[in-house]
Structure 1
Amino acid sequence: MSTGPTIDTPNNKSGLWGFMIVPLILLGVLLAYLLTTGGGLQNLSGPPVEHVTVQQVRLPDAQTIQLTVVNDGPQEVTIPQLMVDDAFWTFTAKPSNTIPRFGSATFTIPYHWVQDEAHLIALMTSTGTVFEHEIPVAVLTPSFSGDLLWRFALIGLYVGIIPVALGVLWYPWMRSLSRRAMNFILSLTLGLLVYLAIGTWLDATEFAAELPAFIQGLPVTILIALLVLFTLILLGRREKKAGEKPSNLSLSYRIAFGIGLHNLGEGLAIGAAFAAGEAALGTFLVIGFTLHNITEGVGIAAPILKKNPGIKHFILLVLIAGFPAILGTWIGGFAFNPILATLFLAIGVGAILQVVFEVGLLVKKDDEKAQVNPLNWVNFTGFTAGVLVMYFTAFLVKF
């Protein structure tokens, strides 16, 4: 009995590839047609859409302003004129004042700017569109020197390595605590890490907002953070399937890595602020970060309270978590790049979230082993304490 027409499925796999390739060929034909002829939509097109972003401002000397301008619009842009403080001014542009799509140019303006004052620059395109950029506080851009390199390194040392090391010094005392007290410390670590994840995420989105529109900073930041999170989780599951029990020491290293990326972001912010003259309360800022970051050492040491890994590992953990603050201060002070800043911070968000997952599992397993419900007041109080410590010490570092 016939039940209706049937569709033969090719047994040859090469025939199946044809079904995949043909739509791609037809799509290419359609795109070529639209690009070469306009597809009959010419009468519907409006005026050209232009958009440029000032990526970087440098003040190399008292009589020069340099702008790095990126064209993130859909077509090339020509900038024949610009104004500084409402007056048209001469300039030179390299490689050209006509910037192709996704391209950039450096505009050098021979203008005697005033120290510590604001200046407004307006870029006028050939179609009459004006794009403005304000220099809020005009200060000389730091030039690379051994003395300044050392000074920026000291800042990173004060806000990164020293506070983390001071926090780790609580390790001997923490080892004397009871099981419940240790879980309180681990829960406190969870609170610290959750707060750090949120703070790192906000820093990443702030830098992403400065990127050219075509980079799609916010979606890319979310995607990178999620990819890092899932990659680290899958690598952890692979270890378990291979019969390798992840050690608490490896968890401490992952915590240090995530905190290090967060401290890199802090260093970038501090270095950029000093370079732009916006850190008028620089010493106060350093003191605030030092107090804010001392709890990070507690979080790094918390997973290894039951087994002392030795002084060598403590030194490495402190360097992994703290040295990025020095590196970030150097980059922020001498060669700030919002693309790299966004990338590193997005990776940091994913790494910190994965550590939050691992520490949460550690607390859960320890409580279940003791036949205690993980959702208890000790863990809740520890988590809340971690969040509150980070929140209130953050008052000292907001500028």
Structure 2
Amino acid sequence: MQNRGLWIALGLLPLILLAGLIGVFVVKGTGIEAEPAAPVEVVEFQKVVLTPGSFDITLRNSGPGEVTVAQVMVDDAVWNGTVTPSQTIPRLGTAQLQIPYPWVEGDPYEIKLITSNGLIFTHEIPVATATPEMNGETLWSYGLVGLYVGVVPVALGLLWFPFVRRLGKQGMHFLLAITIGLLIWLLVDTTLEAWEEAAEAPVGLFAQPLVVLIAFGTFLLLQRLGESGDNKASGLRLSFLIALSIGLHNLGEGLAIGSSFAAGEAALGTFLIIGFTLHNITEGLGIIAPLANQRPPFRYFVLLALLAGGPAILGTWIGGAAVSPLFIAICLAIGAGAILQVIVAVSQFMRKEVTSTVNWLSWSNLSGVGLGIAIMYITKVFI
């Protein structure tokens, strides 16, 4: 028992000494006297809500120290604004800025904040329009949009199943190769979207490294959960994995559509609906590829369509609430990790069925991967 206590003490000793060293720096300082050439302040406009006669803005201080909002300007004119709970925002803290202003529908506006140190932060509103309120009618409308974008096109893609069942072994492998190509495109697309959203998050939260770690952690977790006793995935189980990964990707698409409408960009939101609907019908083909030599009950196709397309409904609701870029980046990072794991699973599924007549890296399979990427690229062009 005494040896165990000594062992624990030796383990804690470096941490105790480190805490003491940090304490010395805090109390005594570094001994280097230098003033920064200019104050380092960062104020971000996290959410801007337009209501009749008012701009309601959520501010976040992502700089290294506290920030005091000294003045508010709208279109280069000094304007009254109320900052709550205080004009001084602590590091990584948020505040609500309410600006009473008789804005006109369709007009552009520029809002400026001037801090006590004279730094200026700007937010542009290209076209002023009232921000939709989240009520029962709005939720229903957003839900229908998610249904049209996610569930319906994926379900239409599943209708290719009778055609797929008539394919032979070579044809099934070609279709699985197309699925890998589809997933590779989704992986790259989701990763880039997560990276862009992370770049919009407060600097002090280090969102971009977090995105990489979450994606990698999701991949490792799903890879571990996906291992079975014989390390062999059935075709039906693989289809559900593909549907899950596509569903996480479609969650991101729903977030994009919902946030577009929440920001008052109705034209962009409608354009995204058309593009994503066209884009998602090809995903149904990838889901049914592992089922080419099976005949699952009809209820499984319903579950697959809901699993792959349903998250788009949830995404439009979340995006319509104008959530933070960090939350969106985390969701997309989870989707990227899941898609990567499914690519590995599909590849393993194909390799275990390699025979003397079916080569894993045949020209047919490689061309299938290229075709899958090309299909996703061509449909993405319309978004």
- The question of 1:165 aligning with 2:151 is answered no
SS in 2 for 1:27: helix
CA contact (8 A) 2:211 2:333 kept: yes
CA contact (8 A) 2:147 2:312 kept: yes
CA distance in 2, matches of 1:235, 1:328: 25
Once the two structures are overlaid, the 10-residue window that deviates more, 190-199 or 26-35, is: 26-35
Q: Give 2:234's aligned residue.
A: 247
- The question of 1:49 aligning with 2:35 is answered no
Q: Give 1:4's aligned residue.
A: none
- The question of 1:17 aligning with 2:8 is answered yes
SS in 2 for 1:246: coil
Shift of 1:379: 0.4
Q: Give 2:169's aligned residue.
A: 179
Q: Name the amino acid aligned to 1:390.
A: M
SS in 1 for 2:45: strand
Shift of 1:266: 0.6
Q: Give 1:87's aligned residue.
A: 77
- The question of 1:321 aligning with 2:308 is answered yes
Q: 1:372 aligns with which of 335, 351, 358?
A: 358
Instruction: Please list every run of 5 or more consecutive structure 2 residues that lacks an aligned counterpart in the other structure.
Output: none
SS in 2 for 1:324: helix
SS in 1 for 2:104: coil
SS in 2 for 1:256: helix
**What TM-score does the superposition give when structure 1 sets the normalisation length?**
0.91
CA contact (8 A) 1:142 1:334 kept: no
Q: Name the amino acid aligned to 1:53.
A: E
Shift of 1:24: 0.9
Q: Give 1:39's aligned residue.
A: 30
Shift of 1:45: 5.3
Shift of 1:47: 4.7
Q: 1:276 aligns with which of 263, 268, 271?
A: 263
Shift of 1:245: 4.0
SS in 2 for 1:344: helix
CA contact (8 A) 2:258 2:269 kept: no
Instruction: Please list every run of 5 or more consecutive structure 1 residues that lacks an aligned counterpart in the other structure.
Output: 1-10
Q: Give 1:75's aligned residue.
A: 65
Q: Name the amino acid aligned to 2:26.
A: L
CA distance in 1, matches of 2:275, 2:201: 29
- The question of 1:349 aligning with 2:336 is answered yes
Q: Give 1:381's aligned residue.
A: 367
Shift of 1:112: 1.7
TM-superposition CA deviations, 1:317-364 (whole Å, max 9, x none): 111111111111122123433222111110000000000011111122
CA distance in 2, matches of 1:311, 1:107: 53
CA distance in 2, matches of 1:36, 1:247: 63
Once the two structures are overlaid, the 10-residue window that deviates more, 336-345 or 75-84, is: 336-345
CA distance in 2, matches of 1:48, 1:27: 30
Shift of 1:387: 0.6
Q: Give 1:236's aligned residue.
A: 226
Q: 1:139 aligns with which of 104, 125, 129?
A: 129
CA distance in 2, matches of 1:361, 1:287: 35
CA contact (8 A) 1:138 1:276 kept: no
**What TM-score does the superposition give when structure 2 sets the normalisation length?**
0.95
> CA RMSD for the aligned pairs?
1.8
SS in 2 for 1:55: strand
CA distance in 2, matches of 1:281, 1:236: 39
CA distance in 1, matches of 2:152, 2:96: 39
Shift of 1:282: 4.8
CA contact (8 A) 1:265 1:325 kept: yes
Q: Give 1:201's aligned residue.
A: 191
CA contact (8 A) 1:137 1:276 kept: no
Which protein is bigger by CA-based radius of gyration?
A: 1
Q: 2:141 aligns with which of 151, 166, 169?
A: 151
SS in 2 for 1:88: strand
Regions of 4+ moved over 6 Å: none
Q: Give 1:214's aligned residue.
A: 204
- The question of 1:339 aligning with 2:326 is answered yes
